[in-house]
Amino acid sequence: MSSRTIVLNDALYEYLLSVSLREPGVLGRLREETAKMPEHNMQISPEQGQFMALLVELTGASKCLEVGTFTGYSALAVALALPEDGTLVTCDISEEFTSRAKPYWREAGVAGKIDLRLGPALETLDALIADGESGAFDFAFIDADKVNYQGYFQRALDLIRPGGLILVDNVLWSGAVADPARGDEDTEAIRAFNQARAGDPRISLSLVPIGDGLTLARKR
Ligand code: CA
């Protein structure tokens, strides 16, 4: 036993999944289709999807926001956890990736809950703010290009209601954030984002080492 977070080797990770993963079939098929793509590592892990769905339930969220749809796994996990009248606005620039998501959203019966906005997400978020949606969202998930993380977060914080939750993915960046030899643009952007959140008085904060590192920020 240790007072620090446990390291998961392959056997322990498989065990964790075997006793806790409840992935619906439609999500599993979407994950398997995405796993065949060269960009498959942009997809969240299934236990992270389940964790996010639980957070949606815990917060009672009904209006959600996502930056970075990719092939729609996280959007589907969130949409399945939403109440009947719940909605998710999800932003991406790729017609190619997001078109893979739609048949699965339809099959799962949640296509009507998901509002896909194609275009640069900073512009989409600014348009939501201009439309008077500040404070209207309960829950947000940021998982897109890392150089814009600060810009996405500032806008998400505006759009989220007090008490709402923002999740930010890849904040441990495969360990690169703690490797002094790594000075590339993405790593530096994530370091700057994490450093800014460390002392951000507008949020309550927890960085959870699930997947590639997930920051939970509750708006005060
Ligand atoms: Ca990610």
Q: What is the pLDDT along the chain (220 residues), one digit of tens a residue?
A: 678 999 999 999 999 999 999 999 999 999 999 999 999 999 999 999 999 999 999 999 999 999 999 999 999 999 999 999 999 999 999 999 999 999 999 999 999 999 999 999 999 999 999 999 999 999 999 999 999 999 999 999 999 999 999 999 999 999 999 999 999 999 999 999 999 999 999 999 999 999 999 999 999 9
What residue numbers bound the domain in which 86 lies?
10-219
In the numeric block, which tokens belong to residue 10? 């392959």
Q: How far is the CA of 193 from the centre of ligand 1 (A)?
A: 15
Specify if 2 maps to a domain.
no
pLDDT score recorded for residue 2: 75
Structural domain includes residue 1: no
- Who's near 185: CB < 8 A, 6+ residues apart? 146, 147
Please report whether residue 47 resides in a domain.
yes
Decide if 123 is inside a domain.
yes
Which residues are CB-contacts of 47 (< 8 A; sequence separation ≥ 6)? 16, 17, 20, 21, 210, 211
Gap between the Cα atoms of 48 and 179, Å rounded: 24
5 assigned to some structural domain: no
CA of 11 to the centre of ligand 1 (A): 23
CATH of the domain at 44: 3.40.50.150
Q: How many domains does the chain have?
A: 1
Tell how far the Cα of 34 is from the centroid of ligand 1, in angstroms.
13
Interval between CA 47 and ligand 1 midpoint (Å): 13
Could you tell me the distance, in angstroms and rounded to a whole number, from the CA of residue 113 to the centre of ligand 1?
A: 22
Q: What is the pLDDT of residues 135-169, one digit of tens each?
A: 999 999 999 999 999 999 999 999 999 999 999 99
Distance 44 CA to ligand 1 centre (A): 6
Whether residue 22 is contained in a domain is answered as yes
Asked, for residue 119, whether it belongs to a domain, the answer is yes
* 211 CA → ligand 1 middle, Å: 8
Centre of ligand 1 from the C-alpha of residue 1, in Å: 30
The neighbour count for residue 21, using CB atoms within 10 Å, is: 13
